[in-house]
Amino acid sequence: MSENNGSIRHILIGVWTAAVLLFVFLPSATIFLASMTSSRYFTFPISSFGLDWWSKILNSLEVRSLAYTSLSIALSVTIIAVVLGFFGALAFARYDWKGRKLYQKFILLPIFFPQSVLGLALLLWFNALGFTLSWKTAVLAHLVWIAPVVTLVMAIQVYSFDPSLEEAATDLGASRWQTFREVTLPVLMPGIFSGSLFAFLLSWGNFPLSLYTTGADNTLPKYLYAKMVAGYTPGVPVLGTISTAAAAVLLFGGYTAMLFLTRKRNAAA
Amino acid sequence: MIEKTSFFAEPGRRAALPILVLLSLGFIAPLLAVVGFSFMPARTFGLWHEPTLENYETVFSDNTYISLFWSLGLASATVVLLALICYPVAYGLVRVFGRWSTVLTLLFTIPLVVSENIRLYGWVLFFIKGGVLPGTLRTLFGVEMGDFLFTPAAVLFGMVYVYLPFMLFPMTLGIAMVPNQMREAARDLGASRWQVFREVELPLSTPGLMIGSLLTFVLAIGAIAEAKVLGGQRIIPITHDIEIAFTYAQNWPLGAALAVLLMLVVSVLVLIVLRRFDLDQILGKR
């Protein structure tokens, strides 16, 4: 009786989860549909299918330069955030030091903070310092939020790291640098990998911070927002579909690559 | 001198230094600048004027605080709805779906990295006249749909949609913290399913629940795109007021005073909740 009860419950949970997933992906599906129409305005059911807007967007020089700016920001953020996050995570989870508990909570504060307000605060601060706003100030702004996220993601990996491995290497005569390169770095590789993936994607898609801190430079999310507010153009759904699909491919690809790497390492060990 | 070397001799302190420098210059300093600006005379752009309280007086006499109440109300409603929506899903991810959980988790992660304005725009095209839902209803059933877009309900709907992952993932972490043996022991001792839920499952997963609610609330109180894209500016949340003061109105001190009010609410909540938790336990136990 009770077993039966359990399985009905499980089915209900499954159905509910499927419904929530549908809710999560419904707008993406709508955007995809809207990108497939060849007419100027979107009406459903679609009367004339066509890929005209896709070729228009893919050949647009403006979109290419936007993608280039977004990419420059995201790559710079990734590299810097991973270095900061790597050491930040060691301090978070690996070393025992006075002030660590306080440090752990301090790292969380920028994550638990409304991003639009942070963006405006940074706008004010950069102006007070006399900085000219450009994609470089946006890198700084993104880092304030993304470096703590990467630190957390990596810290989870660091928790599962056995410190005696480092000690054993040192006891066997390895220098500090050798221990770092041969033991610490490889063991923490999955954390570094997922940390950089997150840093890149979060920066690529960020809107509230970029909005106030890029100045004259434009990123893709900022451009899309300007287009949306200005009135309808089917270019927005095309770009939206591309960014959603790219994010999905990167996430699933990254996950598969990581599975593959861990399996290879386990086989080698 | 000796004092100084021993301070950085500790490897943890050395490793923490770079990110602490970043956050001091990129987080603490800007927030202090905002606080400083909030005491400057209206429509000035420097920090070296005579301090004044006039911006705070303006905030309370101009009824600007009404938008703060809108933001607080919408954020609270978002948290409650998301807690109810996400709990069964989080429970399923931890206890029911087995090896499918990883794929499902990845699926729930995807929206997180697509700009919220693009996704909200998808909802606009879904609900708008001639859009997916009204179009389907008309062609299949011949029913005309009333307006949903550009209402306060649409704003709430958008917020629930955007902040879903921020509730779901901490919740999953929380439920995963409940040891299986504990639940089984409770069952063996004759507890009903409801009792197990109320006496074991819920209390032990509270840290995840609390952190998810806090994160959702804090981010939702900073929401701005939802009201603009789905709400058609019917509701003016506090963040919108702040933005207008900073941009069109060119009145930074007033914007700063509003931002300080928001920051006060957020920091009091964050400090109260975060104080209670040992992060080593939440993140470390796998």
**Which regions of chain B are under pLDDT 50?**
1-3, 286
Between helix B132-141 and helix B116-127 the angle, nearest 10°, is 20
Q: Where are the alpha helices (DSSP H) in A1-60?
A: 2-35, 52-58
Question: What residue of B is the nearest CA neighbor of A85?
Answer: B19
Per the CB < 8 A criterion, the answer to whether B163 and B219 are in contact is yes
Question: What residue of A is the nearest CA neighbor of B117?
Answer: A225
Q: What is the pLDDT of residues A16-46, one digit of tens each?
A: 999 999 999 999 999 888 888 777 677 777 7
Residue B27 DSSP one-character state: I
| pLDDT value, residue B218 | 92
Which tokens sit at A156? 């989870």
Higher pLDDT, A234 or A248: A248
- Chain A residue numbers with beta carbons less than 8 Å from the beta carbon of B263 are 117
- Chain B residue numbers with beta carbons less than 8 Å from the beta carbon of A150 are none
Fold of the CATH domain A52-268:
MetI-like fold (1.10.3720)
* % of chain B exceeding 90 in pLDDT: 34
For residue B136, give how far its alpha carbon lies from the nearest alpha carbon of chain A (Å). Answer: 7
Mean pLDDT computed over A227-248:
84
Per the CB < 8 A criterion, the answer to whether B163 and B213 are in contact is no
Q: What are phi and psi of A37, to 5 degrees?
A: -95, 150
CATH classification (class only), B68-284: mainly alpha
Which among A17, A26, A147 has CB closest to B19? A147
- Chain B residue numbers with beta carbons less than 8 Å from the beta carbon of A152 are 283
Question: What residue of B is the nearest CA neighbor of A27?
Answer: B122
Per the CB < 8 Å rule, is B106 touching A113?
A: no
* % of chain A exceeding 70 in pLDDT: 96
How far, in Å, CA of A78 to CA of A143, rounded?
9
Question: What residue of A is the nearest CA neighbor of B85?
Answer: A20
| pLDDT value, residue A5 | 61
Question: What residue of B is the nearest CA neighbor of A84?
Answer: B19
How far, in Å, CA of B227 to CA of B128, rounded?
16
Number of helices followed by number of strands (H, E) in chain A? 13, 0
Q: Among residues B247, B246, B223, which one has the least CA distance to residue B152?
A: B223
Mean pLDDT computed over A140-159:
92
Q: Is A49 helix (H, G, I), strand (E, B) or coil?
A: strand
Q: In Å, how far are A42, A53, A60, A63, B229 from A56, measured between CA atoms?
A: 17, 5, 6, 10, 25
Mean model confidence pLDDT for chain A:
87
| pLDDT value, residue A83 | 95
Per the CB < 8 Å rule, is A17 touching B92?
A: yes
Per the CB < 8 Å rule, is A248 touching B110?
A: yes
Terminal CA-CA length for chain B? 43
Mean pLDDT computed over A221-236:
82
Q: What are phi and psi of B250, to 5 degrees?
A: 50, 40
Query: In which residue are the tokens 């709430």 written?
Result: B156
ipTM over 0.90: no
How far, in Å, CA of A247 to CA of A257, rounded?
15
Q: Is A129 helix (H, G, I), strand (E, B) or coil?
A: helix
- Chain A residue numbers with beta carbons less than 8 Å from the beta carbon of B125 are 27, 30-31, 34, 42, 237
For chain B, what are the domain ranges? Answer: 68-284
Per the CB < 8 Å rule, is A31 touching B47?
A: no
pTM: 0.88
- Chain B residue numbers with beta carbons less than 8 Å from the beta carbon of A95 are 10-12, 15
Which among B18, B114, B130 has CB closest to A43? B130
| pLDDT value, residue B20 | 95
Per the CB < 8 Å rule, is A23 touching B193?
A: no
pLDDT at A214 over 50: yes
- The one-letter amino acid at B128: I
Q: What is the pLDDT of residues B270-286, one digit of tens each?
A: 988 888 888 887 777 54
In total, the C-beta contacts within 8 angstroms joining chain A to chain B are 286
Q: What is the pLDDT of residues A72-116, one digit of tens each?
A: 999 999 999 999 999 999 999 888 888 898 999 999 999 999 998
- Chain A residue numbers with beta carbons less than 8 Å from the beta carbon of B286 are 159-160
| pLDDT value, residue A56 | 79
| pLDDT value, residue A2 | 46
